[in-house]
Homo-oligomer: A and B are copies of this chain.
Amino acid sequence: MSAVPQPENEVDPTLEADVFSRNCSSREILQNVTSRWGLLALVALLDGELRFNALRRRVDGVSERMLSVTLQSLERDGYVHREMLQAIPPRVEYSLTDMGRAVAPQLRGLIDLVEGQVPAVSEARGEYDAR
């Protein structure tokens, strides 16, 4: 995206997205999918659709409010589909869209990598702090 400030949500199709450019909208999108809760919600939904409370249990530690805000922003960006089911009481189910299914495995790969690095990071921190 160009370095010239642009109105929000407007994309000049003649320009390539460049996350290193401060005004590129890809930067904000990247932040939504890699946010503390956005990343975990997307990966949790890789296993299939989930109702709000089930998703909240899976993403351990998230508040109702933060999960709600996170899902709304992922829905707005087209990564998550929100379905109101006709039932008594009414139920809401969340699932990944095609775009969500494209990005979530990449995030899952990142999580797998970082989970495997925990002991090495812990060692590095110990050495750094002992300097």
Contacts and interface: CB of A to CB of B under 8 A. Distances in A.
Interface of A: 1, 3, 9-11, 13, 16-22, 24-27, 29-31, 33-34, 36, 39-40, 44, 58-61, 75-78, 99, 102-103, 106-107, 109-111, 113-126, 128-129
Given A26-B114, A33-B114, 14 more contacts: A9-B122, A9-B129, A13-B119, A18-B115, A20-B60, A22-B60, A27-B36, A30-B110, A31-B36, A77-B121, A78-B120, A99-B120, A99-B121, A103-B110
Cβ-closest 4 pairs across A and B: A78-B124, A22-B61, A17-B115, A34-B34
The A contact surface, by secondary structure, is helix
Contacts of A31: 36
16 contacts: A1-B118, A9-B126, A11-B118, A11-B122, A19-B111, A19-B115, A22-B61, A30-B114, A33-B114, A34-B110, A76-B124, A77-B124, A102-B113, A103-B113, A103-B117, A106-B113
B122 A3 contact: no
Contacts of A106: 106, 109-110, 113
